[in-house]
Structure 1
Amino acid sequence: MNTTPTSVEPLSDKLTELATYDPNHLLDSLIDKLQLKNDAALSRALEVAPPVISKIRHRRLPVGASLLIRMHEISDLTIGELRGLMGDRRGKFRISDKQFKPKSEI
């Protein structure tokens, strides 16, 4: 059994490790601000399937950029405020340069 840590970890493990990351606070705050009853109503307001909200709550799915923008559109909270609600305190968000490289042809 190999016990050495690998440099490539699943995203869900990384999200679980982040002590300050709390998507539940973000989702609960949106439900309160929009005066919604529950996650199902929130999913309808955000125009996403209910399992998306569930996966975010259980930290199996991160809050993506498009969902964050949609939250901004329906709540009038700034992106910074929304990120703050979920515990993202980074000053800048950097995208890896690997994401901009074209895929090599097979």
Structure 2
Amino acid sequence: MSVRQKKQELLEAMHRARAAEPSSFVPNPLLDTLITRMQLKNDAELCRVLEVQPPIISKIRHRKLNVGATILLRMHEKSNIPIRELKELTAEAREQPAGRTTH
């Protein structure tokens, strides 16, 4: 087996493992809160305000990319929402019973 095949096999195994474990990161409440509080129209406008490329927000919304420290700080700087609150927005969605929303 070539190095390339081994690498591909390892990547596929990582993707299968990641898909099998439940995600603890729920990005939609975070992104939706930012859009609401900053009085934006959609994800595209959020991208412009945060000065990030649209695929970044799309990947975050679809749970393919977690919010890193850099973007979290930028969210805080642009929205004036405390970092602790931004982080809690992802936890609240996990802890609430189905059908209940925050705020």
> 1:35, 1:50 → 2: CA distance?
18
More helix by percentage:
2
1:76 aligns to 2:80 (yes or no): yes
Secondary structure of 2:36's counterpart equals helix
User: 5+ unaligned residues in a row in structure 2: which ranges?
Assistant: 1-12, 93-103
Give runs of ≥4 in structure 1 deviating > 6 Å: none
Counterpart residue identity of residue 70, structure 1: R
1:56 aligns to 2:74 (yes or no): no
Calculate percent identity across the aligned residue pairs: 53
Deviations 1:41-84 (A, max 9, x none): 00000000001000001100000000000000011111100000
After TM superposition, list the pairs within 5 Å mapping 1:1-106 onto structure 2. Answer: 9=14, 13=18, 17-19=22-24, 21-87=25-91
In the TM superposition, what is the alpha-carbon distance from 1:17 to its structure 2 partner? 1.3
In the TM superposition, what is the alpha-carbon distance from 1:34 to its structure 2 partner? 0.3
Secondary structure of 1:44's counterpart equals helix
In the TM superposition, what is the alpha-carbon distance from 1:9 to its structure 2 partner? 4.4
Counterpart residue identity of residue 53, structure 1: I
TM-score normalised by the chain length of structure 2: 0.68
TM-score normalised by the chain length of structure 1: 0.66
In the TM superposition, what is the alpha-carbon distance from 1:18 to its structure 2 partner? 2.6
